[in-house]
Amino acid sequence: MKDTRKPRVGVGVIIVKDDKVLLGKRRGSHGAGYWAFPGGHLEFNESVEGCARREVAEETGIRLKNVRKLIYTNDRYHKEGMHYITCFVLAEYRSGVVRNLEPDRCEGWSWFAWGKFPKPLFIPVQNLLKEKQNPLAA
């Protein structure tokens, strides 16, 4: 019998400010307790870049500039029976103060140097790092 489930599309936003990137500790959904970039689900008829701007504003209250496509990862969550394609974008901090606007979904936000990330990392971030991606080196 054919499995009719379909992967979902997520967007991960790598925000750069002062040579650091923003990570939050997830809460209340799959990946709870793991560190991840801001982001979320791509909505119907929404651009990946538009999703990045929207999700970051909803989660942190900050604004972005120079949002651009980076890479995608194929992320399977075997225990949860979930499958995502995560589209990563790279963006620069524009303005605002980072606030935790969704405390039911995130324990808090912090800035980290690339490669100096806390553990454990969310599966899409792990898969991104396996691709040897360092957007700050470009």
- Percent over 90 (pLDDT), the chain: 85
pLDDT tops 70 at residue 61? yes
- Identify the band that residue 37 occupies on the pLDDT scale cut at 50, 70 and 90: very high
**Fold of the 8-130 domain:** Nucleoside Triphosphate Pyrophosphohydrolase (3.90.79)
Helix (H, G, I), strand (E, B) or coil at 83: strand
pLDDT tops 90 at residue 118? yes
The predicted structure's pLDDT at residue 38: 98
User: Residue 93 in contact with residue 111, Cβ under 8 Å?
Assistant: no
Please tell me the number of Cα atoms within 13 Å of 134 on its side-chain side.
11
Torsion of CA 91, 93, 94, 100, to 10 degrees: 120
Please tell me the number of Cα atoms within 13 Å of 36 on its side-chain side.
26
Return the domain boundaries, the chain: 8-130
Q: What's the average model confidence in pLDDT over 79-86?
A: 94
